[in-house]
């Protein structure tokens, strides 16, 4: 990879141009614009030729890594391939020319997409109805928790101010609950990495608004006691919230509605193949069980009904797969994760050996090579992740979940062929062998990327959030 | 190997307490700062805030994670280490010299429930 960090403005030269603007047909209107709204000077656009622009953006794109470039095993994020047909559908002029304020009678096609999605997601999740307004997962969590709070309020039960969250939860769960004004109560995991039902029981009572769960959880394990947990929480008067971030392995196999969940969100940008990370934007539709449908936000409030382009892409994905193939996505994702997990457990510590779903967690290297390092420090999970970049793989999720100090979380998704998985396994074995032999190779990695290790500490302590000339000097 | 100082009391969530002039001086252990990595922000309580043993009174943020600070004893905060606002890295440099809060204890017998250096060494190894 070649290093390239120019700004398009740095390429600008007076008099250069790559485009002729059409004749300004509205020049005569200028006088009618109030003076305050007129620009005193022309905007400072970069003056560049076409080849300047093409090379600039091509070079920048090569500094990037995406699922179109290579394997992206980022646990908890479901970085599956984004099929190009999604883009073709979303680019159809009838869709991409829509304006959120145009009269309802003229958007029948878009309404049909929402209705179709509502039906498809209800069938996949076992929920009764969805709102498409939330624009990402955490936004969906907040919406869902507000629905739970409103449910209790309508029953005149205002004592329910606590929400139970497992210690393995995504960080967004307690954060969303806090934003919603609920008090977070943590429930511990047992030795098998699942919610400890016995530890849950004493937490339940008349102050509990509900419990937020991810199933499979962040260790990639299916919460097999979910029926019992649902019965206990319902018995105490609380509701169950399902964090849909890990829905992928369950597609077409198990439904949150059947497990006993009352409210849930889906991440269309994870499970339903829409662009994710950097590019986004996301979409986090919230589904509810029958008894909560009348609390869903009313679409009629606003014509701006979530990120329509994302919902449309996800709908294209579901229709392209069809009912039978949707089931295969989850099964292949589960098979791929178990295949990697079993293939590498002789070089990486596997704290929970049971069958996983779509992802799993190692707890660092078995032999970190500490005895071979001059300072006695072996290679950490961070070093393994950095070394992977040298071999053209995106790094997995590291140091999450917090249950394991050297957590390294891998989620291959159903996207990858067996050959890609085998390549990845071979590289991970090679890295483990390097660590045992000479951990400094890992600790100094990456060796082949345009930037080695950025100074994350200084960046966090003294962030520079906008372009400054001094950076380039 | 992380440093553990004799004579201090420790919590299982890696805070230490030193009793000094009737006040409980609270910080995080060397093991905690090593686990967190480079600390980028210390979220401090306000003076006069009440803290409760076992509940969070602030947080540490590092490049790796954010972690709640758990009060080892209950009482009223009488002083916070304001130097940490601008220089959170002090915690990395010396976790024992750079205390976080001083607490006027409401129940000094809570100290008995904490670990001594010997017991803490075992869990922070």
pLDDT digits (tens, 9 = 90+) for B21-80: 889 999 999 999 998 989 999 999 999 999 999 999 999 999 888 889 999 999 999 999
All domains of chain B, ordered by start, with CATH? 9-110 (2.40.50.100)
Q: Which residues contact A157 (CB under 8 A, 6 or more apart)?
A: A237
Residue A472: is its pLDDT beyond 50?
no
- Model confidence band, residue A460 (pLDDT cutoffs 50, 70, 90): confident
- Model confidence band, residue A208 (pLDDT cutoffs 50, 70, 90): very high
Instruction: For chain A, give every residue range classified as CATH 3.40.640.10.
Output: 84-321
CA-to-CA distance for A101 and A163, rounded, in angstroms? Answer: 38
**Do the chains contact at B40 and A460, CB–CB below 8 Å?**
yes
Note the pLDDT tens digit of each residue in A14-34: 999 988 888 888 888 888 889
Topology of domain A330-459, CATH = 3.90.1150
Residue A383: is its pLDDT beyond 80?
yes
Give bridge partners of residue A165 from the DSSP assignment: A186
Query: Can you give the pLDDT at residue A1?
Result: 57
Matching CATH number, A84-321, of 3.40.950.10, 3.40.640.10, 3.50.50.60, 3.40.630.10? 3.40.640.10
Residue A375: is its pLDDT beyond 70?
yes
Q: What tokens does A376 get?
A: 């006695």
Those of residues 156-195 in A touching chain B at CB distance below 8 A are 171
Among A171, A399, A461, the residue with its CB nearest the CB of B64 is A399
Q: How many CB pairs under 8 A join A and B?
A: 21
CA-to-CA distance for A19 and A40, rounded, in angstroms? Answer: 23
Residue A300: is its pLDDT beyond 70?
no
Instruction: For chain A, give every residue range classified as CATH 3.90.1150.10.
Output: 330-459
Query: Can you give the pLDDT at residue A473?
Result: 40
Residue A464: is its pLDDT beyond 90?
no
**Across A33-47, A209-223, A238-252, A258-272, least confident range:** A33-47
Choose among A158, A75, A99, A42: nearest CA to A381.
Answer: A75
Interface test with B, best of A172, A399, A404, A408 (most B CBs within 10 A): A399
Mean pLDDT in residue range A320-329:
93
Interface test with A, best of B42, B64, B89 (most A CBs within 10 A): B64
DSSP assignment letter at A205: S
Mean pLDDT in residue range A143-168:
97
Contact at 8 Å (CB) between A164 and A197?
A: no
Q: Which residues contact A106 (CB under 8 A, 6 or more apart)?
A: none
The per-residue pLDDT of chain A, averaged, comes to 93
| Percentage of chain B exceeding pLDDT 70 | 100
Residues of B within 8 A of A461 (CB-CB) are 40-41, 88-89
Mean pLDDT in residue range B69-92:
96
- Model confidence band, residue A301 (pLDDT cutoffs 50, 70, 90): very low
Instruction: Give Cα separations from A202 to A196, A209, A232, A358 (angstroms).
Output: 11, 15, 11, 31
Query: Can you give the pLDDT at residue A279?
Result: 60
């Amino acid at each position: 990879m070649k290093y390239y960090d120019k700004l398009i403005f740095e390429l600008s030269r007076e008099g250069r141009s790559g485009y002729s603007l059409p004749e300004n047909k509205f020049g005569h209107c200028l006088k009618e614009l109030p003076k305050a709204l007129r620009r005193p000077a022309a905007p400072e656009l970069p003056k560049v030729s076409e080849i300047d622009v093409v090379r600039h953006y091509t070079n920048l794109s090569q500094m990037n890594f995406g699922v179109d470039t290579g394997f992206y095993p980022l646990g908890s994020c479901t970085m599956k391939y984004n099929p190009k047909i999604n883009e073709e559908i979303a680019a159809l002029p009838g869709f991409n020319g829509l304006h959120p304020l145009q009269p309802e009678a003229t958007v029948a096609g878009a309404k049909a997409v929402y209705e179709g999605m509502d039906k498809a997601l209800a069938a996949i999740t076992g929920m009764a109805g969805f709102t498409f307004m939330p624009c990402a997962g955490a936004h969906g969590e907040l919406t869902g928790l507000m629905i739970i709070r409103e449910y209790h309020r309508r029953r005149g039960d205002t004592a329910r101010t606590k929400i139970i969250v497992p210690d393995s939860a995504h960080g967004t769960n307690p954060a969303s609950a806090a934003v919603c004004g609920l008090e977070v109560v943590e429930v511990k995991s047992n030795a098998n990495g699942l919610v400890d039902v016995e530890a849950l029981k004493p937490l339940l009572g008349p102050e509990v608004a509900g419990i937020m769960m991810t199933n499979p959880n962040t260790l990639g394990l299916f919460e097999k006691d979910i029926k019992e947990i649902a019965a206990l929480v319902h018995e105490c008067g609380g509701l169950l919230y399902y964090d849909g971030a890990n829905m992928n392995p369950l597609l077409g196999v198990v439904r949150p509605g059947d497990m006993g969940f009352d409210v849930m969100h889906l991440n269309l940008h994870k499970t339903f193949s829409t662009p994710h990370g950097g590019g986004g934007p996301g979409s986090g539709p919230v589904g509810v069980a029958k008894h909560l449908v009348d609390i869903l936000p009313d679409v009629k409030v606003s014509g701006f009904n979530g990120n329509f382009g994302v919902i449309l892409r996800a709908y294209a994905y579901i229709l392209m797969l069809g009912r039978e193939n949707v089931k295969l996505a989850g099964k292949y994702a589960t098979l791929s994760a178990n295949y990697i997990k079993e293939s590498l457990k002789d070089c990486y510590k596997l704290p929970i050996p049971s069958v996983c779903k779509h992802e799993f967690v190692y707890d660092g290297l078995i032999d970190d090579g500490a005895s071979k390092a001059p300072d006695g420090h072996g290679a950490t999970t961070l070093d393994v992740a950095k070394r992977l970049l040298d071999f053209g793989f995106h790094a997995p999720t590291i140091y999450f979940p917090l249950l394991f100090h050297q957590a390294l979380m891998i989620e291959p998704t159903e996207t990858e062929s067996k050959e890609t998985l085998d390549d990845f396994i071979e590289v991970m074995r090679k890295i483990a062998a390097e660590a045992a032999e000479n951990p400094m190779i890992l600790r100094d990695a990456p060796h082949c990327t345009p930037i080695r290790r950025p100074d994350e500490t200084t960046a966090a302590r003294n962030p520079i959030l906008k372009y400054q000339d001094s950076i380039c000097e | 190997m992380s440093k553990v100082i004799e004579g201090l009391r420790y919590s299982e969530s890696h805070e230490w307490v030193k009793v000094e002039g009737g006040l409980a001086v609270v910080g995080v252990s060397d093991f905690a700062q090593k686990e967190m990595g480079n600390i980028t922000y210390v979220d401090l309580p306000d003076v006069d805030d009440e803290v409760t043993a076992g509940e969070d009174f602030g947080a540490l943020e590092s490049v790796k994670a954010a972690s709640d600070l758990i009060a080892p004893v209950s009482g009223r905060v009488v002083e916070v280490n304001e130097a940490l606002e601008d220089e959170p890295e002090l915690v990395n440099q010396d976790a024992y010299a750079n205390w976080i809060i001083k607490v006027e204890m409401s129940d000094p017998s809570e100290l008995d429930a904490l670990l001594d250096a010997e017991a803490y060494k075992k869990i922070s190894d």
